[in-house]
Structure 1
């Protein structure tokens, strides 16, 4: 993927700056591609310089310690970025059979098992090659997933003739030799590639349906289970969209077979936290799951994935002599035969166990019937106790409500008495106010009468004054006519002009008499 060799891969080299920029964007690092110039020792950037820059400048931003799921997620994202940059060249072929997504998954498997070696012609260039034995493992898995027959001798002859497999040759062999059958449906190819992808990349040891006993409700429910070296994850269905739980698996876990009831073959997964009970529909599936769980517990340790460690183990095994390899293959064949014999014997034992289970089933049915009757009787007693407890509680609540009603009634009577007293006081106050109102009305009538009387007296006085003024004017005329007393009359007229009009008639007569004298 990082190679600069044009002759070996027969594709255009990937631009290091473009690839570095995309990886930096994935890690939230922007502008990291500008630092490549400082690591360039000549006009062209070598692969060693590019790899050193990625490890010490780009990937150094990641935490130093990553657990396996997080590291696997980072690896997946970086692989997707690299595939996005170079997929146009890697997908180029004459008669494609696999889909682009399947090619990407095969490419990830190829990169996992392949080796990075120097080019024999140019030591500054590197090529990615896959050993024939590793390529044979992938091809064998694919053939088995497609339901075909694997020919090991044919593959050994093909591997010896080709030698190291490059990516283009590896993909061409898979498509032209094992997937060119027109009877193979495209869905079958997708499922086969996805299955070997799960085995090599996701480290999935086994997956399938299992019965699991609930923690609160002791019933066996069926889940889709996926077993990895570090965990057993179970989902609602095989689509793996709704995860129901995850059980961590380590070297301290163990599995034990338990007695089944004839329909479900049970076994237990013992972890440091608790014990989980599972079941399968047949004895063979239980043996397979027991073997897979023991294998997962055995290989659960380590920071690298199971397939990486298996690949390292195969590399170490490849360093042995050819004789040791033959002996190992012979032992493997013997183990396979022994396993087949053991499975046949286990099948026979399973048939015998089924016959015994039928007899046990009748006894268990009778026992279950007795237990059911006992449970019904126990439940009836519990229901009776519950009813009595409910009746006692209802009576207690009824007494409390009655006391509450009595208390409320007393408070209501008290409030009514207070309201009655307040009403009586209000009526007395109202009567007093009415008496005061009647007294004020009587007094107002008296005042009105007095006012009318005074008005009449005032009117009479005003009439008297008018009469007096008229008489005074007539007298003045008479006095002015008297000659002897002209001066005195003149003096009297002046005096009269200064007399106030408000004087009574009697006072006016007295003044006139005084003037005459």
Structure 2
């Protein structure tokens, strides 16, 4: 059964990797017997591990040899096509066996945000979406997950628990790491998706939801009302849709299963005009009337059911087909990039070749043009020599006549130069005198500037002394104003006392007296200025 073996190859490879004693890619047959016996037990095949003793003469096997043995001795006993529920059940059992072999390696972590059950579910998700490629060694393989698949799972997990997924940070991480193996994949989910979530139930529900969607091939879940067989009333159930079946339960916990509606290729959906209902028609002429709570939910269920009908006859699960499509798209993009890169390289090579040919042609043209220009230069030189020879004879007579004139002009120029030299000597003498006068004037200005600076310093010191005197005077004025205000306050008090009573007591007088005389106090305004005489 090639489909089942292909589906569980990643799980078996991870278990095989955990059984290796070294990094050479070989495992002892004694360990492989235990793993093979457990796989055969789940497939109702007993004694399949005994053939390992006679398979190859070596005590160890690499993964290619072990996979070949499983394909020909174990999985070949199964039929070519299995129903999807039975295929899914076999995958679950084999994955559990492989997990028992390799779980110790992945459960030993420093930060444990996921439970053991959640780690197993992540292991299953990883095995469904992962790819396998040969390692740098000849007989070793690696199971890895592409960064785009990791991004899909991480975004789904972060949105399920209400966290924000930093896609830019993840892209930088994926550039540095490349493909993800299982341990880094678990670490990325713990550190990038749920670092602040403290509720274990929320994490468990989020992982379970992704596990059901990827591994159990759940297309959609939700509440729908279904019309009964005996009583024509609508009752609400929790429905779980897969490509080959529609199962409904009493509650959301999916423990009390009511029934399973088989979905086949000939099934069809009929929307009803009354309410938000629709009918699922099966090829066996069975009709199931279902109802949604609103119009949008009904459209979603109709679309999901149509998708399940379209994939009901596939021998492979829907999520694995989608992963294969994404893998083919990535390979197509890589091939396009390689083709584009090869085309660019070809264009670059052609351009370099054309540039080389153009340079060679340019060099040839340059040499030809150089030779031509040399011939033209020789021709021009010969013509010039001929003209010069004829002209030389004519010029010889003219030169003789001009020599006399030139001699006369030379004597005149010499006399003019001597006169100009005398004038320059005079101008230089005048310039020296002016320079001396300017230097004397500059020295006088410097002396005046020094005297002015000394006077300015004296004025500064005088200003500072005046500032000190002014500050002292201000302090005295402030002191006198305080005393003045105190006196005015006392005067105001005595004036108010004199106006309010029969007289002023002797104890309040400023001067001692034996006779009682009226006291007259002059109330001045609150200022130190003298009153202006009229």
TM-score by length of 2: 0.56
2:151 matched residue in structure 1: 136
Q: Is it true that 1:81 corresponds to 2:92 in the alignment? A: no
Q: Is it true that 1:233 corresponds to 2:247 in the alignment? A: yes
Q: Which consecutive residues of structure 2, in runs of 5 or more, have no partner in the other structure? A: 1-13, 338-534
CA displacement, residues 27-86 of structure 1 (integer Å, 9 cap, x when unaligned): 344443332232235443111111111121122333333111111101111111111122
1:270 matched residue in structure 2: 281
Q: Is it true that 1:299 corresponds to 2:315 in the alignment? A: no
What is the alpha-carbon distance in structure 2 between the residues aligned to residue 215 and residue 126 of structure 1? 54
CA displacement, residues 114-166 of structure 1 (integer Å, 9 cap, x when unaligned): 1111112x121111111111122221221222223344443333222210101
2:122 matched residue in structure 1: 106
Structure 2 SS opposite 1:320: helix
1:215 matched residue in structure 2: 229
CA positional deviation for 1:308: 1.1
What is the alpha-carbon distance in structure 2 between the residues aligned to residue 282 and residue 214 of structure 1? 20
Higher RCO (CA < 8 A, seq sep 6+): 2
Which of 134, 139, 149 in structure 2 is aligned with 1:124? Answer: 139
Deviates more, 1:24-33 or 1:187-196: 24-33
Superposition pairs for residues 89-104 of structure 1, below 5 Å? Answer: 89-104=105-120
Which of 159, 164, 167 in structure 1 is aligned with 2:182? Answer: 167
1:432 matched residue in structure 2: none
Q: Is it true that 1:283 corresponds to 2:283 in the alignment? A: no
Contact kept, 8 Å, 1:21 with 1:30, in 2: the verdict is: yes
What is the alpha-carbon distance in structure 2 between the residues aligned to residue 166 and residue 159 of structure 1? 12
CA displacement, residues 374-413 of structure 1 (integer Å, 9 cap, x when unaligned): xxxxxxxxxxxxxxxxxxxxxxxxxxxxxxxxxxxxxxxx
Which of 126, 131, 148 in structure 1 is aligned with 2:163? Answer: 148
Structure 1 SS opposite 2:240: strand
1:501 matched residue in structure 2: none
Q: Which consecutive residues of structure 1, in runs of 5 or more, have no partner in the other structure? A: 326-517
Bigger radius of gyration? 1
Contact kept, 8 Å, 2:24 with 2:140, in 1: the verdict is: no
Structure 2 SS opposite 1:39: coil
Which of 295, 300, 316 in structure 1 is aligned with 2:328? Answer: 316
Count of aligned pairs between the two proteins: 319
Relative to structure 1, the CA distance from residue 41 to residue 81 in structure 2 (aligned partners, 3 Å threshold; closer, same or farther) is same
1:257 matched residue in structure 2: 271
Which of 206, 211, 218 in structure 2 is aligned with 1:192? Answer: 206
1:203 matched residue in structure 2: 217
What is the alpha-carbon distance in structure 2 between the residues aligned to residue 143 and residue 88 of structure 1? 26
TM-score by length of 1: 0.58
What is the alpha-carbon distance in structure 1 between the residues aligned to residue 336 and residue 166 of structure 2? 22
1:331 matched residue in structure 2: none
What is the alpha-carbon distance in structure 1 between the residues aligned to residue 161 and residue 262 of structure 2? 32
1:447 matched residue in structure 2: none
